[in-house]
Structure 1
Amino acid sequence: MYVVDRDFGFAPNPFHGYCTLATCKHRIRNTAEVNDWVIGMGGARLKATGKCIFAMRVTEKITFNEYWTSPQFLDKKPVRNGSRKMMVGDNIYYHDSSSNEWSQADSHHSNADGSVNVDNLKKDTSSRNVLLSKHFLYFGREAPVVPHNLLNTIKYENGINHRVFDEKTNDGVRPLIEWLHSQGSLNQVISAPFDFSDSEKRYSGNNSKVL
């Protein structure tokens, strides 16, 4: 579980039938395994503290190159002059093994002129993994308030970095997952992302600013 600071529909990207985490959160992308749950909670910036923005059970874990070259995920590639869904495409990285160089598509993580944002590239590619989910709940702006007793039972608190809760050792995990399933339909965007109206903007990890 972690606090979602920005919710453009980019990380995670819940569109086109899959919820994907392909940028940011490199530690989660490194360590999460198939069948693990990744849950994003709201924070102060979104005025959504205590609310669940999304929950995805990892159903597949692939590399950037597998993501980039798969025809199945063509719609996840960004089109910056397209619809808002296409603007925030997260299928943006490809590694050329012959030159040992990374390519970054014109995207939410590029510079304002579409050129490579080196800071974002370095952070994003510190893990080469992309998490895919065909079993997710994406609430966006209609994020429900998670009952305090559920959060207290697993001992969750908003803070920096993600927290890991193991169902084998934490009795509160299963009730939380069951509650999430009761809040909406699977594999649908229940409501637009909090920052969707600003989907044309870019994010710079160098100074943590939206430009």
Structure 2
Amino acid sequence: MTAIYRFVVTHDDGMAPCSQDGVLSLVTCKPNIRLKADVGDWLIGYRRKKLGGLTFVGQVSKKMEIGDYQEKFPDRRDAVYRRVGRRPNGREILEPLRDDYHETEKLRGRDIRGRYSLIFDRYWYWGCDGGIAPEFIADMAHYWIGHARKATPTQVQRLTDWLTFPGGHLGEPCTPDVIKRQNCGGGC
């Protein structure tokens, strides 16, 4: 069954999610969502401190390992880890490509724990401009650290019925020049 993952985008700096060159991706932060979401699932990123405000909505179209993402999209700003090998269990060994993003081993470990990159071909990214959610989406909001995953078939249908207008990159990140994320406080 299709899921709808809901969470607050605590730092809208163009990294998580990253809307660039006609593709939306989630490669860093939200490790549990990246680990569990499947192709066809939906993600809704709510704006912090704005009731009913949306940063983005997207449907997962591809799910790939972080190292595969960096090889396929090396010039994207969120391609911040490179695969340097594999563990005996097949999991990737990744090294950071930038020293200005998630500088601590703890934060990098959270990123890597997510194992996968999510790609959205069908998405609506409002960024700081903030889309306004209709009441049925605002009612599903998740306004604290972490995420929620639950959707009835009716909620999924209402979401897809609402998203009939043109999507893509509809706004800019709130702080696009801020790439240094030393301490997200565990909320990214």
Name the structure with the higher strand share. Answer: 2
Indicate the TM-score class for this superposition, using the shorter chain for normalisation. Answer: 0.7 to 0.9
Give identity over the alignment, percent: 23
| Contact 1:43–1:50 (Cα < 8 Å) also in 2 | no
1:95 Cα deviation from its structure 2 partner: 2.9
- For residues 19 and 90 of structure 1, the distance between their equivalents in structure 2, rounded to whole angstroms, comes to 10
| Contact 2:13–2:178 (Cα < 8 Å) also in 1 | no
**TM-score normalized with structure 1 length:** 0.75
Question: What SS is found at the alignment partner of 1:97?
Answer: strand
1:8-62 deviation line (CA, Å, top 9, x unaligned): 0100001022100000000000110001011100112xxx331111011100000
Question: What SS is found at the alignment partner of 2:75?
Answer: helix
| Contact 2:7–2:141 (Cα < 8 Å) also in 1 | no
- For residues 184 and 128 of structure 2, the distance between their equivalents in structure 1, rounded to whole angstroms, comes to 27
| Contact 1:108–1:200 (Cα < 8 Å) also in 2 | no
The alignment covers a number of residue pairs equal to: 178
User: How do residues 100-111 of structure 1 correspond to structure 2 at under 5 angstroms?
Assistant: 101-106=93-98, 109-111=101-103
What amino acid sits opposite 1:63 in the alignment? Answer: E
1:139-163 deviation line (CA, Å, top 9, x unaligned): 11221221334433xx444223211
2:26 paired with 1:21? yes
Structure 2 residue runs without a partner (length 5+)? 1-5
Structure 1 residue runs without a partner (length 5+)? 77-88, 112-116
1:76-118 deviation line (CA, Å, top 9, x unaligned): 1xxxxxxxxxxxx11111232268753101165244xxxxx31
| Contact 1:92–1:107 (Cα < 8 Å) also in 2 | no
1:172 Cα deviation from its structure 2 partner: 2.8
> Given the alignment, which residue of 135, 138, 142 partners 1:151?
138
RMSD: 2.3
